[in-house]
Amino acid sequence: MPSSWLFALAGGAMIGGAAALLLLTHGRIAGISGVLGSLLPPGAAPDRGWRLAFIGGLLAAGLIGAAVAPTAVGASVRTLPVVIVAGLIVGFGTRLGSGCTSGHGVCGLSRLSPRSMVAVATFMTTGAITAMIAGGVS
Amino acid sequence: MTAVTTTCGARCRAMSIVLALVAGGLLGAGLLVSGMTQPAKVVGFLDVTRGWDPSLAFVMGGAVIVYAVAFRLIQRGRKDPWFDVKFHLPTRRDLDGSLLIGAALFGIGWGLGGLCPGPGLVAAAAGSTTGLAFAGAMIVGMLAQHLTAKK
């Protein structure tokens, strides 16, 4: 088994454990786009405390990660304008579709949610087609 | 703090915030360890036609195994979470156009940039120009969706 598979499995287990911790403590689905989006107007959620803390923890991991493992965040495969277009589409799409890889993927598939299963099948398919057309590095 | 009720004093509220921070931190660390913050790896996983790298399938596999077990144990063992009066779980089961179009768009953006929301935020906090551009654009995209959403 290649070591990248073990890192993927270990990282995945950490993600699952983190999502379980948020469920146990706050009773919430650990969906990044949902938690982040609910902090944004209009219609921002009233209970901001745990949401800000959860996103803050995620950002802290990035800050610490940059110091202890600088290669963990990889270089871009696209030019900056393409990255910005990708970000815009991801932001709009995840809010319209009520979730992303964490909420629909990790939490939704585990809960056997039919909406999440359809969402995951859909974004994996369009992601695969897009990556195929756009190519490895451009 | 509306969700935390009168049974939760100042120390309990502080603990609830600390544990949300820990959950976010652990999730972010998991993303860094797993390879999800490496756009080239993500694109290499999504694109099955050029020397497919299947390793990221193990991220979802590992996460789902842990969460699926934990979810059932927590649901069976408790009627409410530690710091709230009830669990807030999605109840909808219908499929609609918004779900399909939104998920389809998300996949296009993910396959294009090689970043999804969590890794985008982690990369931004790590100071990556790509991460900052992606996360900033993602927030603009979210705001645009909120403003155009039918209420």
**B59: confidence class by pLDDT, cuts 50, 70, 90:** very high
Whether A137 maps to a domain, the answer reads yes
Determine contact: B14 vs chain A, CB below 8 A.
no
Q: Calculate the dihedral angle through the C-alpha atoms of A21, B132, A93, B89, rounding to the nearest 10 degrees.
A: 10
* Total domains in the fold of chain A: 1
**Residue in A closest to B151 by C-alpha:** A43
Whether A100 maps to a domain, the answer reads yes
B135 CB neighbours in chain A (<8 A) are 87
A59 in Cβ contact with B121 (< 8 Å)? yes
Q: What angle do CA A112, A114, A115 make, to 5 degrees?
A: 120
Out of B25, B128, B149, name the one closest to residue A61 (CB).
B25
Q: Report pLDDT for A45.
A: 87
Whether A117 maps to a domain, the answer reads yes
Instruction: Give the whole-angstrom CA distance, residue A129 versus residue B138.
Output: 21
B10 CB neighbours in chain A (<8 A) are none
| Closest Cα in chain B, distance from residue A103 (Å) | 10
Contact A40 B47 (CB under 8 A): no
Out of B20, B68, B99, name the one closest to residue A57 (CB).
B20
First CA to last CA distance, chain B: 25
Whether A27 maps to a domain, the answer reads no
Contact B19 A55 (CB under 8 A): no
Determine contact: A39 vs chain B, CB below 8 A.
no
**Residue in B closest to A47 by C-alpha:** B1
Contact B99 A119 (CB under 8 A): yes
**B58: confidence class by pLDDT, cuts 50, 70, 90:** very high
Location of structure tokens 């703090």? B1
Contact B100 A57 (CB under 8 A): no
Whether A111 maps to a domain, the answer reads yes
B100-141 confidence digits (pLDDT tens): 999 999 999 999 999 999 999 999 999 999 999 999 999 999
Out of A25, A98, A101, name the one closest to residue B16 (CB).
A25
Determine contact: B125 vs chain A, CB below 8 A.
yes
Contact A95 B102 (CB under 8 A): yes
B6-40 confidence digits (pLDDT tens): 568 899 999 999 999 999 999 999 999 999 999 99
Out of B113, B117, B123, name the one closest to residue A32 (CB).
B117
Whether A52 maps to a domain, the answer reads no
**B1: confidence class by pLDDT, cuts 50, 70, 90:** very low
Range of the domain at A112: 76-138
Whether A132 maps to a domain, the answer reads yes
Residues of chain A scoring pLDDT < 70: 1, 136-138
Contact A50 B105 (CB under 8 A): no
Q: Report pLDDT for B51.
A: 86
A53-74 confidence digits (pLDDT tens): 999 999 999 999 999 999 999 9
Report which of A133, A131, A130, A121 is spatially closest to residue B43, judged by C-alpha positions: A131
Domain residue limits, chain B: 1-89, 93-151
Whether A130 maps to a domain, the answer reads yes
Report which of A36, A31, A34, A28 is spatially closest to residue A15, judged by C-alpha positions: A31
